[in-house]
Amino acid sequence: MKKKLIAGNWKMNGSSASNEALVKALAAGMDGKDCLVAVCVPAPYLGQVQALVANTGMDLGAQDLSQHESGAYTGEVSAVMLKDFGVRYAIVGHSERRQYHGETDALVALKAQRALANGITPIVCVGETLAEREAGQTEEVVKRQLAAVIHTNGHCISEIVVAYEPVWAIGTGKTASPEQAQEVHAVLRAQLKAATPHADRVHILYGGSMNAANAAQLLAQTDIDGGLVGGASLKAPDFLSIVAAAR
Ligand code: 13P
């Protein structure tokens, strides 16, 4: 059985001082962990956190990347640059990027492709809004979002990580129930199975108000292979409890 993956998404939080304290506290609690662990940090801190996670068993992640290889794209960060800092994962298509930066399914697919081409595992986020869920469109929305990535990435699709993050559960304290999450994860797994014989290798993470109290139940579901954790990843004891629940 594959190990679960617990990835922290720090979002736009942190400082040199708080990062150091947080990663040191995490490192001190990593003994005996039985899963993969990553922290996805703001770009300016990649160098700092690269040094802090060295030899801790934790991997480094970024929160976004450019779809372009290099050139005149002011403000963008390339996959090659991320690789230069030892980045293993890059989140792509987070709902906050889709919502506030107009990222489309097609753009997210290109970003995933750029990551894969440079040996970085894209964590592709999909998820419906509350209005979409209430309109009975959950399945249609997540399938459309994943289909774009499958279409662009073909046989490489078994190399991605998928994160199901219902938008209504992000930062709201409202978690999808384990059954609600499993239902969507099963849909995503079936979609991956239709695209690759290696779909069982793909980690499908749940994200949205995952915390120390609800992690074990979510992670016990058949198709939930880990978590993408926002708020709770900023507090060492909480993140470590989630890591401990991932067995
Ligand atoms: P919260 O855990 O704060 O709800 O955030 C989830 C998320 O968006 C992770 O990418």
Each residue of 152-210: pLDDT tens digit?
999 899 999 999 999 999 999 888 999 999 999 999 999 999 999 999 999 999 999 99
Question: Is pLDDT above 90 for 216?
Answer: yes
Pocket flag, ligand 1, residue 166 (CB < 6 Å): no
- How far apart are alpha carbons 54 and 56 in whole angstroms? 6
Read off the DSSP letter of residue 191. Answer: H
Average pLDDT, the chain: 97
Domain ranges in the chain are 5-245
Helix (H) or strand (E) holding 117: helix 105-117
Helix (H) or strand (E) holding 52: helix 46-53
State the closest ligand 1 atom to the C-alpha of 125, by its place in the atom list counted from 1.
10
Pocket flag, ligand 1, residue 207 (CB < 6 Å): yes
- Tell me the Cα Rg of the chain: 17
Ligand 1 center–CA 231 separation, angstroms: 6
CATH class assigned to 5-245 = alpha beta
Question: Is pLDDT above 90 for 32?
Answer: no
Mean pLDDT for 14-41 is: 96
- How far apart are alpha carbons 172 and 133 in whole angstroms? 16
Pocket test for ligand 1, best of 10, 209, 229 (most atoms within 8 A of CB): 229
Residue type, 144: R
Residue 218: half-sphere exposure toward Cβ, Cα within 13 Å: 33
pLDDT range class, residue 247, cuts 50, 70, 90? confident
Tell me the C-alpha to C-alpha distance, in Å, between residue 64 and each of 95, 134, 182. 12, 29, 26
Write down the catalytic residue from 94, 128, 132, 203.
94
Pocket flag, ligand 1, residue 128 (CB < 6 Å): no
CB 109 within 8 A of CB 126: no
Active site residue 165: yes
- At residue 1, the pLDDT reads 79
- At residue 155, the pLDDT reads 85
